[in-house]
C-alpha cells in the first residue's frame, strides 16, 4: 500500500477546526487576519468589527485634533518640569521614574523608588531626553524649551524649522499629522471592507469552543462540560436555546437562572424542569 503521509496530513489540517475566539461560530478563513498574529484566532467579520470600532475613534478630525493638542501640551509641560528638576533631595540623582512623569506629570526619583519598592521601572532624565532629540530631531532641547516653551510637532516639523526659522509662525504640522491619521484609518477600513467581500469564513449555528472537554461560563467563568469531543457546547448552555437574545453565547445553569424572567413562558417552564432534574 502506498500510504502518503504528506497528503494525509494535508487533509487532516484541512479539516482541523479553528473557530473564532470572538464569535465562537465562524471557522476562520484568515483572509483579513492571517498576517496579524494577535488576531489569528478570529474570523474576518470579528476582526472587521474591531477595526471599525477602533477607527470610529479616529473618524472625527476635530476630536482627534483636540486630543493631540492636549497630549502635546502635556508632553511639553513634562519636559519643562524635567528641565527645571534640580535632582533628588535624598540621593541627588536626576533620573525620574518614567511612568509617574508621563502619566501624572510628577517627578519621582527613580533610584529611590527602586530602593523602596524594588522591581523594575523605566527611568528618564533631561540629559537622556536632550540626547534623544539631538540625535533624532537634530534640535537642542534646552534652546527650544527656553525660547519657545514648547517643542516642534514632529521630526519633520523640526526639520522645517531648521531650514526656515519662519516655519514656527505658520506651522500646520499638527493639522497635517491628524489629517493623515484620519485618512489612514478610513483608507484601511475601506480596504478591509473590500477584502471582506471575498471572505470565506464558515458560519456554524453551533457554539464552538477550543477545548475537547469543557467550556467556561461567560458570566461567572464556571467550567461547563460540553458535547464530548465535538467541541460544541450543549444546547442547554446556549442562551438562544432558552429564547434569550443576549450577547453571551455560553452560560452555566446559575447564570441562566438569573435571566429566566426574560425567557418565553414555555421555555422558562422547560428550563425549570431541566434545573429540577439537575441536568443544568
Residues that bind Zn ion in the complex, under the rule CB under 5 A: 20, 22-23, 26, 29, 31, 43-44, 46, 88, 90-91, 93, 109, 112, 157, 171, 173, 199, 201, 217, 219-220, 222, 252, 255
Nearest approach, Cβ of 204 to Zn ion (angstroms)? 11
Of 74 and 162, which CB lies nearer to Zn ion in the complex structure? 162
Residues 93, 87 contacting (CB under 8 angstroms): yes
Return d(Cα 109, Cα 125) in angstroms, integer: 10
Of 31 and 189, which CB lies nearer to Zn ion in the complex structure? 31
Q: Give strand pairing partners of 123.
A: 97
Kindly state the helix (H) or strand (E) to which residue 79 belongs, with its residue range.
helix 61-83
Nearest approach, Cβ of 55 to Zn ion (angstroms)? 18
Burial bucket for residue 67 (CB in 10 Å: 0-12, 13-18, 19+): middle
Q: For Cα atoms 135, 139, 140, give the angle at the middle one, nearest 5 degrees.
A: 105
Nearest approach, Cβ of 130 to Zn ion (angstroms)? 20
Return d(Cα 226, Cα 216) in angstroms, integer: 10
Of 190 and 221, which CB lies nearer to Zn ion in the complex structure? 221
Nearest approach, Cβ of 268 to Zn ion (angstroms)? 18
Nearest approach, Cβ of 2 to Zn ion (angstroms)? 36
Of 34 and 59, which CB lies nearer to Zn ion in the complex structure? 34
Of 36 and 90, which CB lies nearer to Zn ion in the complex structure? 90
Distance set, CA 18 to CA 15, 21, 156, 184, 202 (Å): 9, 9, 45, 31, 10
Amino acid at each position: 500500500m502506498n500510504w502518503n503521509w504528506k497528503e494525509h496530513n494535508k487533509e487532516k489540517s484541512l479539516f482541523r477546526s479553528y473557530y473564532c475566539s470572538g464569535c465562537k461560530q465562524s471557522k476562520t478563513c484568515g483572509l483579513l487576519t492571517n498576517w496579524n498574529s494577535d488576531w489569528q484566532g478570529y474570523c474576518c467579520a470579528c476582526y472587521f468589527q474591531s477595526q471599525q470600532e477602533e477607527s470610529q475613534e479616529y473618524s472625527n478630525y476635530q476630536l482627534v485634533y483636540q486630543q493631540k493638542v492636549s497630549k502635546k501640551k502635556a508632553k511639553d509641560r513634562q519636559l519643562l518640569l524635567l528641565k527645571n528638576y534640580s535632582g533628588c533631595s535624598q540621593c541627588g540623582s536626576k533620573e525620574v521614574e518614567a511612568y509617574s512623569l508621563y502619566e501624572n506629570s510628577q517627578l519621582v526619583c527613580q533610584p529611590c523608588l527602586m530602593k523602596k519598592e524594588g522591581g523594575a521601572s523605566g527611568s528618564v532624565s533631561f540629559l537622556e531626553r536632550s540626547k534623544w532629540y539631538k540625535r533624532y530631531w537634530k534640535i537642542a532641547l534646552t534652546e527650544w524649551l527656553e525660547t519657545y516653551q514648547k517643542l516642534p510637532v514632529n521630526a519633520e516639523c523640526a526639520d522645517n524649522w531648521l531650514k526656515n526659522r519662519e516655519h514656527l509662525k505658520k506651522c500646520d504640522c499638527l493639522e497635517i499629522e491628524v489629517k493623515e491619521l484620519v485618512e489612514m484609518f478610513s483608507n484601511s477600513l475601506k480596504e478591509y471592507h473590500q477584502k471582506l467581500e471575498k471572505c470565506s469564513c464558515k458560519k456554524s449555528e453551533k457554539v464552538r469552543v477550543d477545548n475537547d472537554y469543557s467550556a467556561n461560563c461567560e458570566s461567572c467563568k464556571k467550567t461547563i462540560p460540553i458535547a464530548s469531543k465535538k467541541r460544541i457546547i450543549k444546547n442547554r448552555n446556549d442562551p438562544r436555546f432558552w429564547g434569550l437574545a443576549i450577547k453571551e453565547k455560553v452560560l452555566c445553569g446559575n447564570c441562566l437562572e438569573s435571566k429566566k424572567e426574560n425567557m418565553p413562558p414555555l421555555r422558562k417552564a422547560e428550563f425549570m424542569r431541566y434545573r429540577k432534574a439537575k441536568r443544568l
